[in-house]
Structure 1
Amino acid sequence: MTASANIPMCPVIHFEMSYQDRERAAAFYSAAFGWQTQMLGADMGHYLLLTTATTDAKPGAPAGAIGGGMFARSADMPEHMQTPSVVIGVPDVLAAMTRVRAAGGQVLGEPMTIPGVGEYVPFIDTEGNRLSILQPS
């Protein structure tokens, strides 16, 4: 196992998926996995917040249970932006963007501020996967 010197280990802190029917998606994940759901309003893009655990992992299990969310699919959005992805927490979004580019990834735009959450920007890795980075508030 290797790690780059002087780069903090940045954990996966969130995941995202798209939905066609928010109520149906909320009902499915609640019924199938017991996840808690919260439907946010228009000011937050009708986001469906998903809570997958209310406490951290049990002793001996991997730490870092994460929650996630879902957003509405849109014909105006590229398909690769509507596939499941993970969000990686970083201490400095601009420095992380520089590292993504230097490692061969493609940053998709500039950071956007999510009120009460932090600075967020999606990127595509060297394998064509869409992920995002988030500097928490």
Structure 2
Amino acid sequence: MNPVVHFEMPYDDPDRMSRFYEKAFGWQTQQLGAEMGGYVTAATAETGPEGRPVRPGTINGGFFPRKPDWPAQYPSVVIAVDDIQSAMKQVASSGGTVLGEPMEIPGVGHYVSFMDTENNRVGMLQPFPRASQ
């Protein structure tokens, strides 16, 4: 079974979005800058030194800049997979549509979005192996 490990949502104004989620829910946001495509991480739960939530069943997320040429820019969840190429084939053979090729997220893993059979955008992530603690 592949778990949901992350969520994503688009933004128009990163400062306004950060202020909202920090004030409304107490989340901690971090703007990663242009070198990371304007991505903003959101810690929604207490995290350990490796950046993962310490309480089972909780996830963190992030926000990406809304762009006019990207498809399906809606809130979505990200599912962890062991092998992204195999998972892409499984999505396609199950009736979904993979949106492009996987991209490497430095220090995180390989990521690709897909549309499910209900026209929902979902992400898949093959995380890089973590060093043993």
Scaled by the length of structure 1, the TM-score of the pair is 0.85
Of the two, which has the highest radius of gyration?
1
* Contact 1:110–1:121 (CA under 8 A) maintained in structure 2: yes
Helix, strand or coil: the match of 1:30? helix
Is 1:44 the counterpart of 2:36 in the alignment?
yes
For structure 2, which runs of at least 5 residues remain unmatched after alignment? 47-52, 129-133
The structure where strand makes up a greater share of residues is 2
Name the amino acid aligned to 2:77: V
> 1:99, CA displacement in angstroms?
1.0
Is 1:106 the counterpart of 2:97 in the alignment?
yes
> 1:76, CA displacement in angstroms?
2.4
Counterpart pick for 1:128 among 109, 116, 119:
119
Structure 1 moving runs of 4+ over 3 Å: none
1:92 corresponds in structure 2 to 83
Scaled by the length of structure 2, the TM-score of the pair is 0.87
Percent identity over the alignment is 57
2:14 corresponds in structure 1 to 22
Q: CA RMSD in A?
A: 1.1
Cα displacement string for residues 45-97 of structure 1 (whole angstroms, at most 9, x for unaligned residues)? 1111000001544xxxxx3200110111122223x1x1100100011111111
Supply the distance in 1 between the matched residues of 2:121 and 2:90 (Cα, whole angstroms).
Answer: 16
